[in-house]
Amino acid sequence: MVIQSVSNPRIKRVRALKQKKNRVAEGVFLADGDLLVEEALKSEHDVQEVLISEEKLSAFSHLVALAENQSVPVTVVASHVMEALSDTVSPQGIVAVVALPKAEPPAPKGGLICLLESVADPGNVGTIIRTADAVGADAVVLCGDCADAYAPKTVRASMGSIFHLPVVHLKDAAETAAFYKAAGYTMVGTHLHGVDAFDDDLHWASKTLLVTGSEARGMSDTLSDMCDVLLRLPMPGKSESLNAAVATGIFLYTHLRLRKD
C-alpha cells in the first residue's frame, strides 16, 4: 500500500515533528535523507519507522533491507507526500522517525565532553556535534537557550554524527558543569580574556569539559567563574570574534593535539 494523502493521520503525525513542541511531546525526531537514515539504522538509537518515496524503492533498497532486518516498519508514500514530510527544498525521498535520547548527563568516561551554553544557531550546533565526533569526544551537552539538536536543520548539519555520540539537552548549565567537575573533569572555558590556547607550555587534561558560550554573549559569569582554565584564540587581524562553531572546532583539535593521556 502506498500512502497518497498528506491528510493521512500517520503522515500528519510525522509532519508535525518539524516543530519542537511536537518532537518533545512525541519523544521522537526526524532523520531526513539517505545518509542520516542509514546512520540512524546502524546506530544504537531506537528507529521507530522509515518512510520512503515510491520512486526511491529501488535506489534505497539497501536501506529498506536494513530496516526490515531490524524489524523497523517501512512505509511507502507518494512523491508529493514525501515532499510534505521533508524539510528540504529537494527531498532525497526517505526519512526515519527516531526516538529522542533520555535527558540525563552522559556517563563520565574520562575523555572530552563539550558543553554548549545558549549556542543559538542550529548550523553551529550541528557543526560542533560533527567536529566533536571527528576528534573522538565522548558527548555533547546542550544547556540554556541552545538551538534544538534534534531540529531538522541541526540534524542535517551534524552529517550523521548525532548518531555517533550522546547528544542531550539539560536545563541547568551550572549543575551540569558541577556534575562533571565532581567526576574529576578539568573545566576549560572559551573566553576572550583567557590565556593563549596556542601557548607551547599549555597542556590539556584528557578529562576535559570544554565550554562554549553563546554567539552573542559568550559564557555566563556563572560558568566562567566555575572554569579551571579560560582560553582564547589569538586574533592578530581586525576581527573581534570568531564564529562559535569555527572557534570550538579549533579548541577541539587543540585538545586532540596537546592532551595528556
Per-residue H/E/C for 63-116: HHHHHHHCCCCEEEECHHHHHHHCCCCCCCCEEEEEECCCCCCCCCCCCEEEEE
The one-letter amino acid code at 25 reads A
| Segment 98-112 mean pLDDT | 94
How high is the pLDDT of residue 203? 81
Of 217, 194, 206, the closest CA to residue 118 belongs to: 217
- Name the CATH superfamily housing domain 2-99: Ribosomal protein L30/S12 (3.30.1330.30)
Q: What is the pLDDT of residue 12?
A: 97
Q: Mean pLDDT across the stretch 5-25? A: 96
- Fold entry, domain 112-260: Alpha/beta knot (3.40.1280)
Stretch 223-250: mean pLDDT: 92
Rounded to the nearest integer, the mean pLDDT of the chain is: 94
Q: Is the pLDDT of residue 242 over 90?
A: no
Confidence grade of residue 260 (pLDDT, cut at 50, 70, 90): low
How is residue 37 written as a grid cell?
537514515
The CA distances from residue 144 to 1, 174, 179, 219, in Å, are 44, 10, 16, 11
**Higher model confidence: residue 202 or residue 126?**
126
177: left (phi over 0), alpha (psi -120 to 50) or beta: alpha
Question: In terms of pLDDT, which residue wins out, 236 or 155?
Answer: 155
Q: How large is the average pLDDT for residues 189-199?
A: 87
Domain(s) of CATH 3.40.1280.10: residues in the chain? 112-260
The rounded distance, in Å, linking the Cα atoms of 131 and 250 is: 9
45-48 long-range contacts, Cβ below 8 Å, gap at least 24? 45/98, 45/99, 45/101, 45/163, 46/98, 46/99, 47/72, 47/96, 47/97, 47/98, 47/99, 48/72, 48/73, 48/97, 48/98, 48/99
For the record, the C-alpha cell of 173 comes out as: 548549565
Window from 71-80, 98-107, 249-258 with minimum mean pLDDT: 249-258
pTM: 0.94
**pLDDT higher for 242 or 42?**
42
- What is the percent of the chain with per-residue pLDDT over 90, rounded to a whole number? 83
Mean pLDDT of 121-127: 97
Assign 31 a pLDDT band (cuts: 50, 70, 90): very high
Start-end of CATH 3.30.1330.30 domains in the chain: 2-99
pLDDT at 91: 92
pLDDT of 261 above 60: no
The pLDDT score that the predictor gives to residue 74 is 98
- Please give the single-letter amino acid code of residue 27: G
